[in-house]
Every structure is written in C-alpha cells, then in structure tokens.
Chain A
C-alpha cells in the first residue's frame, strides 16, 4: 500500500468518528504509520464535521490540507461539495446520496443547492455515489450508514477485505459486530 490521505466528512452525529477509527485500525494492520485527527464534543452534533486519516511510511501532520486528499468519504451530499477543495486532482469522492438540510436552509436564509453530484464531477473529481442510508436500513439499522460507506471505500483500496472486516470487529462494540459486518458487505458489494 502506498501512502493514503482520506477525509471523512459529514454531519455531527452520523458516526464519522467510528468510521475513522475503523479506517485507522485497517491501515495500522496494513503495517503503516497512521495519524487520525478527529473532532470531539457534543456541540459538534448537527454541524459540519471532518476527520482526517493519513497513512504512509512516516506521517508528520495529522491533518489534510486543500489539494492533499486521495479520497473523500462524504456522509452527505452538501458536505461532499463543501470539502471538495481538499481533493487531489485525480482524487475520488465517495458520497452517500442522503441530503440533510443545514440550519440556514431550515430557516430559509439559504438554499440547498441543486445538482451537487454533477457539479462535483464537472470539477474533475472521480465520483462514486451510493444510497448508504437504504443499504444500512436493509442491513438492519439507519446507524450503520458509516460502516456501509467504509465497505464502499474498502473496495477502492489495496488493503485486503479480511483486514477491513477485522478492523470492524476490533472497533465496533461486540453486540453490533454482526449487524456492522452485514453493513460492510452491503457497501463492499454495492453497485
């Protein structure tokens, strides 16, 4: 595996933190130096959140800057667009097609933009869109959106599938392992 910069972006409360921990565990298992930078605190709920995961021979900075991300894993469409400037020229955006109105849209002060997915493609990013909410519900819980997306991402990397599954097992509480492995599979095999 070469060095890899992944950003996980979404709305506070969507489970981005757990996703970053699975990702970190998988990269560590792949034998790399790993740094993960997170956002903590309940006050982040409902707000735009971002986690950086970096792996390589030797990682110094724990954060990713504009133009540095190989991959953006977006839990929500608007958030994919918000953080697009962080993507490398030939980078990939995996986006959950779910839409969540931010408060300025709820209050009517601003509009939720139309055509986000097309705009991301026009900007030059490789796009992979998936209805992770539907897949998570099929797997048994709306809360498994994060692991579905990890499944989608896993397929894009050269880390073996078993390493990912093991990472899910390590990070997720025991009673949710089965559900999450199912969610992972749903993402991994998604069209």
Chain B
C-alpha cells in the first residue's frame, strides 16, 4: 500500500530498510526530521550529537567497526563535518556510510545559500539527489550498495522542497546486511602521510569507476518525448521542469549529481536542438557540460539566486507569462517573531535598553535582531557569537567590553560556543557571554540536547553542568537569571558588564512551547487604566496590539509571561477575568 511521506521521513525509512544500525546527527532545518523519524525504529541506534563533526565521526567509527551508518545535517552543518568527511573519503568504509545533507535554496531557514554539491566534488564522493519521497527511500538504499561496492562514503543531497514535501512511497521489508568484522587495517584507516599518499591514488581510481557507473546507472535516465528542447536537471528542478514543459521537452534526469556522466550527456544533447541545464544555486552541471564540449543554456537564462518554480521555467523556456490576481491593498509584511511568552524577549528588551553591542548567534533568538527589539548586531554561524565578541573586544578594548555581550542558545553553545569560551579565558579576554538556556534546541522544532538531560528518545541522561563547565574553563563569574524577572536580570547584566573579567550569565527558562511547561493564564488590559502610552509594545509581543488608542491583548496568543505587565506604568495589565476583581 502506498503511504504519503515527508521526504525526510522516506530517507529514514530507507535507512531502516537498508539495515542501518547507527545514526548520529545534529539538527538543522531542513534535515532534522530524517534523524527524528529514524529514532522511531528500535532497530536503529540514534542520537543527537553536539555538532555535525562529532556526528559524522561517530558514523565513520560505526562504519569502520562494520555497521551501516548515517549522519544527517543541513548544508552549513556539512562545513562543520567537512574535516572528517574529506579524510573519510580517503579511508573508505567497512559498513556502508551515508552522509545526508539538506540544502536550503531560498534560505527558508538558513544564513546562506551554499551549494553542497561543491563539497561532494572537492571530497571526491558520490552524491545522489532524489526528486521525491519515493526516490528519497530508493536512493538511500542504493547509496549503501554503492558505498560498500565502491568502498566510499556516499552523500545524499536534498533541498528544502524535497526534504519538506510529502509524496507517495511504497514500503518494503528491511534488508539484513551481512555482519562485518571490525576492520583492523592501519594502511586503510590510519591516515598519516605514508598511508594517505597511497590512498589518494585509490581514490582517483575510484572516481574513474564511479564516473563509469554514472554512464550506465538507471538513476540517470533519459525521457524522450521526441521534442526539440532538451532539459538536464536533477532533484526538485526536474519536477519543476516536468510540470512546466510536460512533453514539450526531452529530459535527462540525473539521480547522481557527482560524478556526472560524460557520454550520456553528449548522447542526450545530440538528440535535441537546444539543451537547457536547469539547476538551482550554482552552475555545477552546466560547467561540466561546457567542460565536455556540450553546448547548453544555463545561468545566462536562469538565476543563481533562490528557488526556481514551474512559472519561472515556463516563462524562460516557452515565453508564457501568467496573469496574477491583485488587490489594491498595501499589504504589510509578516516576518517571523519570537513567540508570545518567549523567555528570550526580556533579555533582548534589556540589551536594547542598556544600548549593548550584541554579538549574536544561530537560533530562534536571532529574531531579536528584528524591530522593535532590534538588539543583535551580528550573526554569522554556529558559535561565532562568543569568538567574535572576543575579537571585537581585542580590537576595541576595555570600554567596548563594558557595553558588549555575546548571546547564544544552549544547544548552539554546546555545538561550538564552548571552544570560544575557552579561547576568551585563555587569551585573557573579558567579555560577557549570555547563554539563553531554554532547555531545548528550539528553532529546528524541539530537539533534546546535551544540556537538557534527555536523549533523542526522551530518556533521562547526563546533562552538561553549564555553570561548572564555565568555571572549569576559567570563568570565575557565573550567574543564573530568570529572564521573566526583568528587574533582577537587569541588575545582573549591569554587574557583569561592569566586571573587568570574563563572565557568563545563564538566562534560564524553558521554551514555553515545551509540553512540560505549564502555561500561565492569559493577561488582559484594563481599558479604564490604560493610557495608551505603548510602553508594553516595546517588548514586541505578537499578542499585544493597539485597538482604539488602548493596548489590547489577543487571548488566543497570550502566554501570560508578564513582560508587558512589568513595563506598564499604570498597572493596567492583569490576569484575564481578574483585573477588575
């Protein structure tokens, strides 16, 4: 029976059917659900690692020990994992090894739009790219066959519209791959120069064989409709093109995007008058075509930016323009905001009030950069808040330090904030680090992490003691605040900013979306007392709006956090139904 499945869920099903035994990942949109769904299979050992490097190394270890293994991450996570991955390419595998990476064209939830196909090329690894959920499952299983046959880690590339789309999938019985012994083989797995030099030659030979495979692989298929136009595409771009052009084009649908075939492309191009390469982000397939002497239309027609669509392809290839229905209204934007009741809101309100320079990081709290909180000055990559603050202070000196902080979430701090903290202590910096500890990896949709004491399955485990960790790194000043208490939090902030030594403030309150968090009753405004001063609006809560010159609270959104109440000069805000009592 066919089931409707998320792309990521189908990858997880593929892992199960391929007999994968070990999965270690770090969450990152749009890759997160692969590992979440995988953790539902009791046959697979699954974990959240502190970061993608640790996750990939764990999977490499499991592979060398003889199990089929997997690590999943988003595109920028692959940068963190690149170090082990590039050398795992040299060692090859014992049990099959698959690295899943989800790119985010259009940056729905990312800080850049990098194209991870470049990593596959640079690391000399086979990369498969499915175009729907059924292929997510099929290619995941195929990847393990290829991995073991060619003795190589394999990469599976998804993009947001594949990872986060549901389509039909047919499930099969799981395979039982043969048990392999731990491979004690230093020539293959100890990559010091003498061994690595020999392995490099093996890798180049493997490249050649993989390229041969690409010529005949079923997943690189030609769809001939007898058309004059030819389209070369992979993944979601094939779907857009197929939707837009139907049988007005022939297609070379590539399932393997590295290495790319040569003869197959030449043969396909010969059968068409005009060949388009349709690929989001960089011109990887196009450049390959030019290199092998095949004339194609690519980025001169299609953009390097963002996502493609069927309308875009229809317009560029067929010249068909779609009429759009329009209203005459001015429609205000609706950017995402910190949720009503979010504990981070109070901290950002205070950082703005104290006119701080704020070195930010990656997480829900990056939203503190938007109006009206407007209190984050930088956001680069996971962990950069701490190390960049150190650099700012080394650049500008002590007075700058007294009005500057780093803000970083608990999960991001574990991911790569700790090394920055050690650097600050070791190199005699004196910044103030604020860990926004909401007891969860929030932005990716609530994953447990090493700081919250729960495993991926929700079982209790050891939690990192952040206070003790900071002290062990050389931070003498460590304070914990409840961000719902604005007065105390402000007092502590002022103390630590003034201190001429490194300090850590842990702003601790669980994300109010967690099921374990008891919700407070919603608040309401007493219109008799409200003078319309908008003090409460300064926290930028989506549940507060002005109605007829007075503040008003949307009870469907209010979580009763009381930031607005603490800012009201007229004591006009109280528990709904209780204000006038």
Give residues in A with beta carbon < 8 Å to B. Answer: 11-13, 21, 24-25, 28, 33-48, 59-63, 65-68, 78-79, 81-82, 84-87, 89, 91, 100-113, 115-116, 119-120, 122-125, 133, 142
B132-176 at interface with A (beta carbon < 8 Å): 132, 161, 164-168
Q: Given A42-B445, A67-B323, A107-B372, does the pair A36, B364 have CB atoms closer than 8 Å?
A: no
- Does B545 reach chain A (CB closer than 8 Å)? yes
Q: List 17 A-B contacts (CB under 8 A).
A: A35-B165, A36-B166, A37-B165, A38-B6, A40-B164, A41-B108, A42-B445, A43-B367, A46-B340, A60-B240, A61-B240, A78-B331, A102-B332, A110-B333, A112-B332, A115-B329, A119-B328
A43 to B367, CA, bound (A): 8
Pair A67/B311 contact, Cβ less than 8 Å: yes
Most chain A CB inside 10 Å of its own CB: which residue of B310, B333, B554:
B333
Q: How many A-B residue pairs have CB under 8 A?
A: 206
Q: How far is the CA of A124 from the CA of B244 in the complex (A)?
A: 25
**B:353-387 near A, CB below 8 Å:** 364, 366-367, 370-372
- Minimum distance in angstroms from A128 CB to a CB of chain B: 16
A143 — nearest CB in chain B belongs to which residue? Answer: B556
- Contact B371–A109 (Cβ < 8 Å): yes
* SS class, residues of chain B in contact with chain A: loop
User: Are A33 and B325 interface neighbours, CB within 8 A?
Assistant: no
In the complex, the 6 A-B pairs of residues with the closest C-beta atoms, listed nearest first:
A47-B336, A102-B334, A110-B332, A46-B337, A62-B165, A61-B243
Q: Which residue of A lies closest to B311 (CB)?
A: A65
Task: Name the distance in Å between A139's Cβ and chain B's nearest Cβ.
Answer: 14
Whole-angstrom distance between the alpha carbons of A25 and B3 in the complex?
9
Which residues of chain A have C-beta atoms less than 8 A from B296's C-beta? none
Query: How many residues of chain B have a CB within 8 Å of chain A?
Result: 67
Closest chain-B Cβ to A15's Cβ sits at a distance in Å of 11
User: Which positions in B face A, CB cutoff 8 Å?
Assistant: 2, 4, 6, 29-30, 32-33, 108-109, 132, 161, 164-168, 236, 239-240, 242-244, 309-311, 322-340, 364, 366-367, 370-372, 442-446, 513, 534, 537, 540-542, 544-546, 554, 556-557
A106 touches B542 (CB 8 A): yes
Query: Which among B166, B331, B544 is the interface contact of A113 at CB below 8 angstroms?
Result: B331
Task: Check if A47 sits within 8 Å of B325, measured CB to CB.
Answer: no
- Do A103 and B310 touch (CB < 8 A)? no
Inter-chain contact B445/A101, CB cutoff 8 Å = no
A46 and B325 contacting across the interface, CB-CB below 8 Å: no
Contacts of B443 in A (CB 8 A): 41-43
Decide: B326 and A46 in contact? CB cutoff 8 A. no
A103 touches B165 (CB 8 A): no
Contact between A123 and B332 (Cβ–Cβ < 8 Å)? no
The answer to whether A65 touches B309 (Cβ under 8 A) is yes
Chain A residues near B32: list those with CB within 8 A: 40
Q: A137 — nearest CB in chain B belongs to which residue?
A: B556
Tell me if B333 and A102 are in contact (CB < 8 A). Answer: yes
Taking CB atoms, residues of chain A closer than 8 Å to B534 are: 108
A12 contact set on B, CB distance < 8 A: 336
With contact pairs A104-B332, A111-B332 given, residues A66 and B324 touching in the complex (Cβ less than 8 Å) = yes
Task: Give the chain A neighbours of B367 by CB distance below 8 A.
Answer: 43
Partner of A40, one of B29, B334, B335: B29
Nearest chain-B residue to A124 (Cβ)? B325
Cβ–Cβ contact B545 & A82, under 8 A: no
Query: Inside 8 A of A60's CB, which chain B residues have their CB?
Result: 239-240, 242-243
Report yes or no: B327 in contact with A84, Cβ–Cβ below 8 A.
Answer: yes
Assess whether B540 is in contact with A65, with CB atoms less than 8 Å apart.
no
In the bound assembly, the distance between CA atoms of A36 and B5 in angstroms comes to 9
* A41 to B110 alpha-carbon distance, docked (Å): 11
